[in-house]
């Protein structure tokens, strides 16, 4: 019987089809979590569909109040935020998020149908805040998410 240590370890042990990787190699990067905040369910589902197909975990929130509560309960890597919502605007949500020290640098991708809101927004460091105008094409959405999460080599776009 050979007593030499094995060069392979199980990445997961879910039966005979478990994948193997060399000892000391890094596991696959952790799935990034995106909080999707929009008052229209169909928009939340639309964005979630494309992002989940690209390997992101999506958490829906129907308004700013729900989004802020979720941010206190769990860690997210990026917020995809509609700026025009009832009760609490996206701009108010951004101000609340930026007022929480541990969330001050949380990347926020704000989506709006009103170009004027983009021009008027004075909402913080542009490295952590970007704007997209509706309608947002799936490829554009995914590209911006990847850029904001540092998952590609694309040059940063200005806010």
Beta strands in 76-121 (DSSP E): 78-82, 108-112
Cβ atoms of 58 and 51 closer than 8 Å: yes
- Rounded to two decimals, the pTM is 0.74
Residue ranges of domains in the chain, CATH in brackets: 30-148 (3.40.50.2300)
Write the pLDDT tens digit of every residue in 27-46. Answer: 445 789 999 999 999 999 99
Which helix (H) or strand (E) segment holds residue 33: the answer is strand 33-37
Query: Residue 59: what pLDDT?
Result: 98
Q: What is the pLDDT of residues 112-139, one digit of tens each?
A: 887 655 544 555 566 688 889 888 899 9
């Amino acid at each position: 019987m050979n007593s030499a240590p094995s060069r392979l370890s199980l990445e997961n042990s879910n039966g005979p089809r478990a994948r193997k990787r060399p000892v000391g190699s890094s596991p696959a990067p952790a799935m990034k979590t995106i909080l999707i905040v929009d008052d229209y369910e169909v928009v939340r589902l639309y964005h979630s569909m494309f992002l989940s197909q690209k390997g992101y975990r999506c958490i829906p929130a129907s308004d700013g109040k729900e989004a802020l509560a979720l941010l206190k309960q769990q860690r997210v890597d990026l917020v995809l935020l509609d700026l025009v919502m009832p009760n609490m605007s996206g701009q108010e949500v951004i101000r609340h998020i930026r007022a929480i020290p541990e969330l001050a640098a949380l990347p926020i991708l704000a989506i709006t149908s009103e170009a004027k809101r983009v021009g008027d927004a004075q909402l913080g460091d542009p490295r952590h805040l970007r704007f997209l105008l509706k309608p947002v094409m799936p490829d554009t959405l995914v590209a911006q998410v990847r850029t904001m999460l540092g998952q590609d080599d694309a040059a940063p776009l200005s806010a």
